Structure 1
């Protein structure tokens, strides 16, 4: 069984408090997801901060506009350092997404590590080669631009 990993880093010219407050608030997920994904949070935890054990449900339309239910659990949180979301129900056989932030000169380095296994064995591997990995890259490119609009472009 093949698994895949996608890693992205982004330097952000902001304080760790500002970046953490933004990325750890589930209400901001829609702002960093391309509109063509039809992303909508359907759960209401009553919290604007992620916490270990939090369940977040969504509807997303990743392929041909077909709505799909997705449920993730925030499995680990270390305030102003990282959190991990793991799929509990959804399109992947495995989805494990680490969100890390660290202070650097001039701002914050945000690192995302997504480890995933598409469904359907060899068909999923083919789908990954044909479009899943490229779609994931485009989603994170959109997110990079959305974060730059929020916090500005990092200047070394």
Structure 2
């Protein structure tokens, strides 16, 4: 199993960043490069505790589906999404939002994942999947940051 953490500083309140991070429309827009789209569950707007969504996307030239559920929710400090069906043996994504002391937010993402297929999957994790997943999360976070900061400036 692999784990990594990303930290993103955002000039918007934790409540704003929390809400945007749960918005499936924003997520779909941030993943447009992989053709990610909603095929089940919450189809628009913001998710909350117990909600699930099924995504379909193309990664590494393969089309896949993943259903994730919001399994923990403490507005506006944190939430967790976990895979309930999909390509990973395990997917657990903790989102944390803390005030930065200047009116902004420190957003931390802690991702734990495991590929299926035993030793073969573990090799894929080391060689390609860890770096690939980190880049996807970082790209998503750039999109969240841009949207949150634009919203904060407009208010």
**Could you say which TM-score interval applies, normalised by the shorter chain?**
0.7 to 0.9
Counterpart-to-counterpart distance in 1, 2:125 and 2:41: 32
RMSD between aligned residues = 1.8
Q: 2:39 aligns with which of 30, 34, 42?
A: 42
Counterpart-to-counterpart distance in 1, 2:29 and 2:101: 27
Counterpart-to-counterpart distance in 1, 2:43 and 2:139: 27
**Which 5+ residue runs of structure 1 have no aligned equivalent?**
none
Q: 1:19 aligns with which of 9, 17, 20?
A: 17
Instruction: Describe the shift of the 1:36–1:45 C-alpha distance in structure 2 as closer, same or farther (beyond 3 A).
Output: closer
Instruction: Describe the shift of the 1:81–1:69 C-alpha distance in structure 2 as closer, same or farther (beyond 3 A).
Output: same
Q: 2:114 aligns with which of 113, 117, 123?
A: 117
Please report how far the alpha carbon of residue 85 of structure 1 lies from its aligned counterpart in structure 2 after TM superposition: 0.6
TM-score by length of 2: 0.87
Q: After superposition, what is the alpha-carbon deviation per residue over 1:3-50, rounded to whole angstroms, capped at 9, x for unaligned?
A: 1101111110011222122112222111222x3322111225366232
Instruction: Describe the shift of the 1:37–1:87 C-alpha distance in structure 2 as closer, same or farther (beyond 3 A).
Output: same
**Which 5+ residue runs of structure 2 have no aligned equivalent?**
151-155
Q: 2:141 aligns with which of 120, 144, 152?
A: 144
Q: Which residue of 2 aligns with 1:92?
A: 88
Would you say the 8 A contact 2:66–2:87 is kept in 1? yes
Would you say the 8 A contact 2:24–2:43 is kept in 1? no
Please report how far the alpha carbon of residue 147 of structure 1 lies from its aligned counterpart in structure 2 after TM superposition: 2.9
Instruction: Describe the shift of the 1:7–1:36 C-alpha distance in structure 2 as closer, same or farther (beyond 3 A).
Output: same
Q: 1:78 aligns with which of 65, 74, 77?
A: 74
Counterpart-to-counterpart distance in 2, 1:82 and 1:108: 12
Q: After superposition, what is the alpha-carbon deviation per residue over 1:79-131, rounded to whole angstroms, capped at 9, x for unaligned?
A: 11111111011110000100110111220010000111110011011111221
Higher mean displacement: 40-49 or 119-128: 40-49
